[in-house]
Amino acid sequence: MMQIDQDGWLCEARHLPTRNFNARPPHTKISLVVIHFISLPPCHFGGSYVDELFLGTLDPNAHPYFRDLAGAELSTHLFINRQGQITQYVSFLYRAWHAGRSSYHGQKECNDYSIGIELEGCEYCAYTKEQYRVLKDVLEVLRKTYPEIGDNLAGHNEVAPGRKVDPGPYFNWKLFRNQA
């Protein structure tokens, strides 16, 4: 079974700490997981561009799509690539910048109380078996460590409706909804 250390890092992940994070509000309990997709450029998998984006080192001249991302300060807690490899950029104890302006069940600013998980993917393709297997294991350890999460699992599209579409129509919610 996966483990989270006392500093909020998933032991089984590759750790690439970013500067793009801040403190959660005092006394905040982690009570939500937000699922996203990402690929850079869109629908292209592999390479180092996702790492570079979350580390704040993405060269805006490396691809025309990246020009719109110049200066963006983004992060996530976890990224799961197509092969199921996990990278962690922000400790779970801190606030990653993944959901933007958002709300879940009437509670605003989801970044304050959520964990963001990016799956390497796009709006037009299915996720891999490896990604689902690893995501299931990650959710199990997160729910054990932060029991307030319970069944609070949402897509970015649910916490930022009209603004975001991820994790997209190919994400199999039946695998993860209402699992304790």
118 is catalytic: yes
Q: What is the DSSP letter of 132?
A: H
Tally the C-alpha atoms within 13 A of residue 61's C-alpha that lie toward its C-beta.
0
What's the rounded Cα separation, in Å, for the pair 22 and 16? 16
Pairing between β-strand 107-108 and β-strand 103-104 as defined by DSSP bridges: antiparallel
Pairing between β-strand 94-96 and β-strand 86-88 as defined by DSSP bridges: unpaired
What's the rounded Cα separation, in Å, for the pair 80 and 135? 8
Q: Of 118, 123, 140, 148, which is the active-site residue?
A: 118
List CB contacts of 7: < 8 A, sequence separation 6 or more: 91, 93
List CB contacts of 58: < 8 A, sequence separation 6 or more: 40, 49, 52, 66, 69
Pairing between β-strand 114-120 and β-strand 32-38 as defined by DSSP bridges: parallel
Active-site residue set: 118
